[in-house]
C-alpha cells in the first residue's frame, strides 16, 4: 500500500492531480494518496490537509499580506510529509509554494517529481539551479521544454498537455443554447477571468466594462472556478445582461461550442480555447510593481502558450496598459464580425490613425490546428504518461534501496 503525496495549489493543479490519481489507480489499485488538493481530487476520496484555495495567490503584492498564513501552511505540509514518510512526492505546478516545500523535505530522501515544468525558460532562468537541487524529475507539458531543462542537468519526461484530454473540443452548441434558454438573436462570448482571487478581482471589472461597450444582444458565459466562485458571482451581479454561469467542468465543452469569441485571461484557459477552436483575445493585468519586475526578467516574446508554440502572435495579447475596456471591446467586435484586428504591438499605430492590423477569427483557427499537432505525446494520454513517469521514479527508488 504505497503512499503518493500530492500537492496542488490552484484549480488547474487540482484537475491535474485528479487525473493523475485516476491513471495511477488504474495501474496500481492499492495506492494511497495524501497531501493538499481541491474539489476535483476530493471527488476521488482525497482528503486535503487544508483548503487548497488558501494557496491560490499570485504576485508579490498579493502574497505579502498572506505571508504568515502561507508560512504556517508550509510548516504543516512539511510536518505531515515528515510524519507520513510517503513513497513519492508529486508537487503540481504552483512553484512558489511547492518548490519551497520540496527544498525543506529534500533531506528526507523521498523521491520528488514536479508536475508542470516551471517557466524558467521564460523568465529568471537562473532559478533552474534551485530546481535541480530540489527535485528528481520534472514532467513537462510542452515539447520545447525537455531539451532546455536537460541541458541544465534535470531529468524530464514530456507527458503532453492535459488540455488534450479535457474534451473541450467535443461540445454541442445547440444543446447548450436550448438548456440555457438562449434566444436565437443572442450571441455568446466566453469570459474567463482566471482562477485566482487577485487576478479575478482585477480583470473581471475590465472585462465587464468591455462588454458594456459592445452592441446589445451579446451575452457572457463565465465558468466558475471553485476558489473564486463567490468573487465572480459578486463581480457579475450588476452586468446589464445576466451572464450564464457554469459550475463544474461538465458544461464547459458545450459552452465553448456555443460561443463565438472569447475574452480570456492568459494561462491554460487560452490553450483550452485553442483546442476548442474558439477565436479569442488574451488579456492580463497585474499590480504595476509586479509588472515592472516581470518585464525586467522576461526572456520570451509572448505570454500565451498558443503563441509560444506557434512562435508568432496567433491570438492578440493585450497586457497591462493595453488591457483596457476600450481596446478589448474593439478586439471582440472585430472577432465577432470576422474582421482583422490589431495585435498589441500594432495598437500604438492604430491609436495614431495607422492601419497595421493582423489576424482574424479564420486565421486564428488555422493557427490553432498548427499548434495542436505539437502537443501530443506518443501513444498515451497526458495523465497516463504522467502516471507512468511517477511509477518509474518509485520503482527506481525501490531498486536502489535493494
The DSSP-derived string for 230-273 is HHHHHHHTT-SSPPEEEESSTTHHHHHHH-SEEEEESSHHHHHH
What does the pLDDT read at residue 352?
Answer: 39
What does the pLDDT read at residue 292?
Answer: 61
Q: Are 222 and 180 in contact (CB under 8 A)?
A: no
Write the CA distances from 52 to 135, 197, 225, 226, integer angstroms: 22, 13, 12, 10
Q: Is the pLDDT of residue 32 over 70?
A: yes
Q: pLDDT, tens digit, for every residue of 138-168?
A: 999 999 899 999 999 999 999 999 889 989 9
Q: pLDDT, tens digit, for every residue of 206-240?
A: 999 999 999 888 999 999 876 788 899 999 998 98
H/E stretch holding 327: helix 325-337
Q: pLDDT, tens digit, for every residue of 96-127?
A: 899 999 999 999 999 999 999 987 665 667 77
161's grid cell: 498537455
Q: Are 49 and 76 in contact (CB under 8 A)?
A: yes
Angle 229-236/197-212 helices, nearest 10 degrees? 20
Q: Is the pLDDT of residue 351 over 60?
A: no
Q: Is the pLDDT of residue 341 over 80?
A: no
Most confidently predicted of 54-63, 201-210, 287-296: 201-210
Q: Are 289 and 60 in contact (CB under 8 A)?
A: yes
**Residue spans of beta strands (DSSP E) within 267-363:** 280-284, 317-319
What does the pLDDT read at residue 267?
Answer: 80
Which pLDDT band, with edges at 50, 70 and 90, does 349 fall under? very low
What integer is the mean pLDDT of 37-52? 95
Q: pLDDT, tens digit, for every residue of 271-321?
A: 999 999 999 999 988 777 666 656 665 666 788 889 888 888 889 888 888
CA–CA dist 123, 119 (Å, integer):
7
What does the pLDDT read at residue 342?
Answer: 63
**Cross-strand bridge partners of residue 280:** 262
**49: phi then psi, degrees, rounded to nearest 5:** -60, -35
pTM of the predicted structure, to 2 decimals? 0.78
CA–CA dist 267, 196 (Å, integer):
11
Does domain 3-160+377-401 fall into CATH 3.40.50.300?
no
Residue of 19 and 402 predicted with greater confidence: 19
Q: pLDDT, tens digit, for every residue of 319-328?
A: 888 899 999 9
Q: Is the pLDDT of residue 355 over 70?
A: no
CA–CA dist 160, 139 (Å, integer):
9
- Looking at 106-189, list the stretches that DSSP marks H as alpha helix, in order from N- to C-terminal side: 128-134, 145-150, 173-179
Q: Are 332 and 263 in contact (CB under 8 A)?
A: yes
Residue of 211 and 402 predicted with greater confidence: 211
What does the pLDDT read at residue 353?
Answer: 40
What does the pLDDT read at residue 382?
Answer: 94
What does the pLDDT read at residue 105?
Answer: 98
Q: Are 9 and 94 in contact (CB under 8 A)?
A: yes
CATH-assigned architecture of domain 173-372: 3-Layer(aba) Sandwich (3.40)
* CA-CA-CA-CA torsion sign (196, 199, 202, 208): negative
User: Percentage of the chain surpassing pLDDT 70?
Assistant: 87
The DSSP-derived string for 64-104 is GGGHHHHHHHHHHHHHHHHHH--SEEEEES-HHHHHHHHHH
Residue of 376 and 258 predicted with greater confidence: 258
| CATH 3.40.50.2000 domain extents, the chain | 3-160+377-401, 173-372
What integer is the mean pLDDT of 254-278? 93
Average pLDDT, the chain: 87
CA–CA dist 80, 148 (Å, integer):
33
Write the CA distances from 30 to 24, 47, 278, 402, integer angstroms: 9, 17, 41, 21
Amino acid at each position: 500500500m504505497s503512499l503518493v503525496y500530492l500537492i496542488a495549489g490552484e484549480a488547474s493543479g487540482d484537475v491535474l492531480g485528479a487525473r493523475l490519481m485516476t491513471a495511477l489507480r488504474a495501474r496500481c489499485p492499492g495506492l494511497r494518496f495524501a497531501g493538499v488538493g481541491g474539489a476535483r481530487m476530493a471527488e476521488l476520496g482525497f482528503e486535503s490537509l487544508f483548503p487548497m484555495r488558501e494557496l491560490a495567490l499570485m504576485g508579490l503584492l498579493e502574497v505579502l499580506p498572506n505571508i504568515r498564513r502561507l508560512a504556517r501552511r508550509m510548516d504543516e505540509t512539511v510536518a505531515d510529509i515528515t510524519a507520513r514518510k510517503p513513497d513519492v512526492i508529486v508537487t503540481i505546478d504552483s512553484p512558489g509554494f511547492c518548490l519551497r516545500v520540496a527544498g525543506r523535505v529534500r533531506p528526507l530522501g523521498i523521491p520528488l517529481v514536479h508536475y508542470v515544468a516551471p517557466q524558467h525558460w521564460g523568465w529568471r532562468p537562473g532559478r533552474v539551479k534551485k530546481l535541480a537541487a530540489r527535485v528528481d524529475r520534472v514532467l513537462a507539458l510542452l515539447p520545447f521544454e525537455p531539451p532546455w531543462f536537460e541541458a541544465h542537468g534535470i531529468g524530464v519526461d514530456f507527458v503532453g498537455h492535459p488540455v488534450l484530454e479535457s474534451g473541450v473540443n467535443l461540445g454541442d452548441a445547440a444543446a447548450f443554447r436550448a438548456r440555457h434558454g438562449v434566444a436565437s438573436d443572442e450571441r455568446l462570448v466566453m469570459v474567463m477571468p482566471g482562477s485566482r482571487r487577485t487576478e479575478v478581482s482585477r480583470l473581471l471589472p475590465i472585462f465587464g466594462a468591455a462588454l458594456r461597450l459592445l452592441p446589445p444582444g451579446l451575452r457572457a458565459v463565465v465558468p466558475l472556478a471553485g476558489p473564486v466562485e463567490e468573487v465572480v458571482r459578486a463581480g457579475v451581479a450588476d452586468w446589464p445582461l445576466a451572464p450564464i454561469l457554469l459550475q463544474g467542468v461538465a458544461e464547459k465543452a458545450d459552452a465553448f461550442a456555443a460561443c463565438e469569441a472569447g475574452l480570456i485571461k492568459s494561462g491554460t484557459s487560452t490553450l483550452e480555447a485553442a483546442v476548442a477552436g474558439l477565436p479569442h483575445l488574451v488579456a492580463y493585468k497585474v499590480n504595476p510593481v509586479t509588472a515592472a519586475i516581470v518585464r525586467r526578467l522576461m526572456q520570451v516574446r509572448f505570454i500565451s502558450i498558443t503563441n509560444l508554440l506557434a512562435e508568432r502572435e496567433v491570438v492578440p495579447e493585450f497586457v497591462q496598459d493595453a488591457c483596457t475596456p476600450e481596446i478589448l471591446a474593439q478586439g471582440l467586435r472585430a472577432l465577432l464580425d470576422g474582421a482583422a484586428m490589431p495585435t498589441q504591438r500594432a495598437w500604438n499605430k492604430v491609436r495614431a490613425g495607422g492601419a497595421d492590423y493582423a489576424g482574424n477569427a479564420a486565421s486564428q483557427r488555422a493557427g490553432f490546428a498548427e499548434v495542436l499537432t505539437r502537443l501530443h505525446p506518443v501513444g498515451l494520454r497526458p495523465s497516463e504518461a504522467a502516471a507512468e513517469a511517477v511509477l518509474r521514479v518509485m520503482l527506481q527508488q525501490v531498486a536502489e534501496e535493494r
